[in-house]
Amino acid sequence: MNRTAAGWIASIAALAVSASGAAWAHSGTQGKKAAYDYSTAEEMPFGKAADPHKAKRIIRVEMSDTMRFNPPEITVRRGDTVRFVAKNTGKLMHEMVLGTRKELEEHAEMMKKHPEMEHDEPNMLHVSPGTSGEMGWRFTMAGEFYYGCLVPGHFEAGMIGKVIVR
């Protein structure tokens, strides 16, 4: 491989990483999270991945083809580890991706340009119609964060919810 090709591939990889906000591996799992070593979870501006089975609080979120999350707003305490159980009651694929508003907006934009791009990280769930997915998250910072569906068009249609961390 010549230098130019290597540089090109490196820049594509860097683009993919910056688009998703972290360097976790991308794979095609649906609903169920791949085995993940939570001790290595990276601290993000909105908290960090945590073992859902160690969470004291379970929050159920419903996703439907009306392009809404139910509930649309969640309040947690700083330091809480939450187990999110996201159920897709629609006929379309939906996602629950945690992040800052800016990150979600950027990621949604990226998904619109590259709808074939597969992404899977500990802060996101891809949930097929009629199934549920779960993930654990520890909210280490106070503030307002969001969960959005980044299936192309869904975020723009209003598929976004808010997490208030007190």
Residues that bind Cu ion (CB under 5 A): 94, 149, 151, 154, 159
User: What tokens does 77 get?
Assistant: 């305490």
Which sign, positive or negative, has the C-alpha torsion 104, 108, 110, 111?
A: positive
Minimum CB separation from Cu ion for residue 116, in Å?
17
Closer of 36 and 68 to Cu ion (Cβ)? 68
Closer of 86 and 159 to Cu ion (Cβ)? 159
Task: Compute the distance between CA of residue 161 and CA of residue 68 in angstroms, rounded to an integer.
Answer: 8
Minimum CB separation from Cu ion for residue 94, in Å?
4
Closer of 69 and 81 to Cu ion (Cβ)? 69
Identify the bridge partners of residue 43 per DSSP, sorted by sequence position.
Answer: none
Closer of 49 and 111 to Cu ion (Cβ)? 111
Closer of 61 and 151 to Cu ion (Cβ)? 151
Separation in Å, CA 58 to CA 20, 31, 36, 113, 116: 25, 16, 19, 34, 32
User: What tokens does 97 get?
Assistant: 């991706």
Minimum CB separation from Cu ion for residue 17, in Å?
24
Single-letter amino acid, residue 32:
K
Minimum CB separation from Cu ion for residue 14, in Å?
28
Nearest residue to Cu ion by CB is 149
The count of other CB atoms within 10 Å of the CB of residue 118 is 10
First to last CA, the chain: 52
Minimum CB separation from Cu ion for residue 108, in Å?
11
